[in-house]
Amino acid sequence: MAKIGFIGTGIMGHPMAANLQKAGHSLFLSAHHDAAPADLVAAGAVALANPQEVAQEAEFIIVMVPDTPQVDDVLFRADGIAAGIGKGKVVIDMSSISPTATKAFAAKINEKGAQYLDAPVSGGEVGAKAATLSIMVGGDADAFERALPLFQAMGKNITLVGGNGDGQTAKVANQIIVALNIQAVAEALLFAAKNGADPAKVREALMGGFASSKILEVHGERMIKGTFDPGFRISLHQKDLNLALQGAKELNINLPNTANAQQVFSTCAAIGGSNWDHSALIKGLEHMANFSIRDK
């Protein structure tokens, strides 16, 4: 069993860390930002003062924080991970951040003699709790093989996509697809309800045809019931689409539908919905239509 440092025990990170613990691995947590979760400590996790101490104790150091600046801070602050690593250690960033920044972070970590994997995930809080996350990995094949048992404790669909940065590129692509599917389902249900049909029955009918999807199944139900407690917050999806649009600018390509989905998310944020689940994109469309599919 491995000695694992885990930094970032939020909505996603907490159940991911718990699943590693259930698989028999030893956990080391950093209390530099917030107190270590009591349930993980009660089950045997060790709380240390900062990321440097975590990195000194652990063979693998996993980072699961919201955005690029937070990863930069955890890695390279004065008492950060980079100050505590050396040969034989593997740093695994499972956050969803900039592919360009990831390549720079990996180079700095490699200079310390350690290995770096970018391994963002898809599947939301449900997948994190059930250990069924899809994990997209960028980095060296030997580091990937060493870390594979850890990934298998957290997910099911685990793919080495390529070198450092390629895991993050795959995650950005994933978030484009998810956003556009959410918008497609939201527009379809809004159209159906405004035209007088029962959106729940329309969803039921569509689930048996070519339009069927996980988004229609899970998020379509959320839209109809109005259950928008976050599994994945709109603000985080906005961050991911910003990465897509920034990357598109660097690549001189146009992503018009991604830009449009981002505008609808921005409408949600403007009416107070930054912390809603991303399935609440429909509320942005409803706001513009002055009509709710749940007021029937």
239 has catalytic annotation: no
Cα–Cα distances in angstroms (integers) from residue 200 to residues 62, 135, 219, 267, in the given order: 41, 32, 12, 24
The gap from C-alpha 206 to its chain's centroid, in whole angstroms, comes to: 28
The gap from C-alpha 268 to its chain's centroid, in whole angstroms, comes to: 20
**Nearest-5° angle of CA 78, CA 62, CA 101?**
65
Query: If DSSP states are collapsed to H, E and C, what string results for 139-206?
Result: CCHHHHHHHHHHHHHHEEEEEEEECCCHHHHHHHHHHHHHHHHHHHHHHHHHHHHHCCCCHHHHHHHH
Is the C-alpha dihedral spanning 256, 257, 262, 268 positive or negative? positive
Kindly give, in sequence order, each residue whose CB lies less than 8 Å from that of residue 92, ignoring residues fewer than 6 positions away.
60, 61, 62, 63, 116, 117, 119, 147, 150
DSSP designation for 247: H
CB-based contact 55:83 (threshold 8 Å): yes
Residue whose entry in the numeric block shows the structure tokens 């029962």: 198
DSSP bridge partners of 138? 118, 162
From the list 89, 112, 171, 283, the catalytic residue is: 171
CA atoms within 13 A on the CB side of 113: 8
Kindly give, in sequence order, each residue whose CB lies less than 8 Å from that of residue 222, ignoring residues fewer than 6 positions away.
228, 277, 279, 280
Residue 163: exposed, middle, or buried by beta-carbon count in 10 A (0-12, 13-18, 19+)? Answer: middle
Residues that are catalytic? 171
